[in-house]
């Protein structure tokens, strides 16, 4: 039975690694580590297969519950900013009006963007607004206090 358990733990490890690669949510990584430990424990003579399963389950859950939150926060902090993030804070001129029911539009460079109001108020055509966020392919904008429009 010990020889079979080595292959079972190897299969568990490989499957967990493949699942982690497909869905990088830091969930199955801990089961892969548990599988590696399971391989090591399968070489201990006299350790029953159910003991290996208990060690695998306990270790995997401890790693999942203790290390995943820490690593998730660390990896989120290290995310890369995109070029679109540079648009935040820019002032732009609206081409078409944005209101509660409709998206407006504004041109930045050669690209026409959909614009949505931050607080569902109307952003008028030809008004200068400030970009405060990017949501998918839409810019979120707000009124600029005392903004003067150019004629």
- 151: pLDDT confidence band, cut at 50, 70 and 90? very low
Vertex 77 angle, CA 90 and 69, to 5°: 140
Q: Do the Cβ atoms of 55 and 38 come closer than 8 Å?
A: yes
pLDDT average, residue stretch 33-41: 93
Verdict on whether the full-model pTM lies above 0.95? no
Q: Look over the chain and give the mean of its residue pLDDT values, rounded to a whole number.
A: 85
Residue 118 predicted with pLDDT over 60: yes
Question: Does the structure show a pLDDT above 90 at 15?
Answer: yes
Reported as a single tens digit per residue, the pLDDT across 40-59 is 999 988 889 999 999 999 99
What is the 3-class SS of the chain, one letter each residue?
CHHHHHHHHHHHHHHHHHHHHHCCCCCCHHHHHHHHHHHHHHCCCCCCHHHHHHHHHHHHHHHHHHHHHHHHHHHHHCCCCCHHHHHCCCEEEEEECECCCCCEEEEECCEEEEEEECCCCCECCCCEEEEEEEECCEEEEEECCCCCCCC
pLDDT of residue 82: 67
Cα of 138 vs its chain's centroid, Å = 18
**Rounded mean pLDDT of 115-139?**
88
User: Judging by beta carbons within 10 Å of its beta carbon (0-12, 13-18, 19+), is residue 89 exposed, middle or buried?
Assistant: exposed
54-92 pLDDT, tens digit each? 999 999 999 999 988 888 777 776 555 667 778 888 899
* Predicted confidence (pLDDT) at residue 146 exceeds the cutoff of 80: no
> Could you read off the pLDDT of 21-31 as tens digits, one per residue?
998 778 888 89
- Is the pLDDT at 96 greater than 50? The verdict is yes
């Amino acid at each position: 039975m010990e020889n079979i358990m080595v292959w079972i733990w190897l299969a568990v490890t490989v499957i967990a690694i493949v699942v982690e690669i497909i869905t990088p949510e830091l969930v199955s990584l801990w089961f892969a580590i548990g599988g590696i430990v399971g391989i090591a424990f399968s070489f201990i003579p006299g350790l029953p297969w159910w003991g290996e399963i208990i060690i695998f389950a306990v270790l995997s859950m401890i790693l999942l519950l203790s290390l995943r939150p820490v690593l998730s926060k660390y990896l989120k902090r290290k995310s890369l900013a995109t070029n679109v993030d540079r648009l935040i804070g820019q002032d732009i001129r609206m081409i078409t009006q944005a209101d509660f029911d409709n998206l407006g539009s504004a041109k930045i460079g050669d690209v026409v963007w959909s614009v949505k109001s931050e607080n569902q108020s109307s952003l008028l055509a030809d008004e200068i607004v400030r970009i405060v966020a990017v949501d998918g392919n839409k810019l979120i904008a707000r009124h600029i206090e005392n903004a003067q429009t150019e004629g």
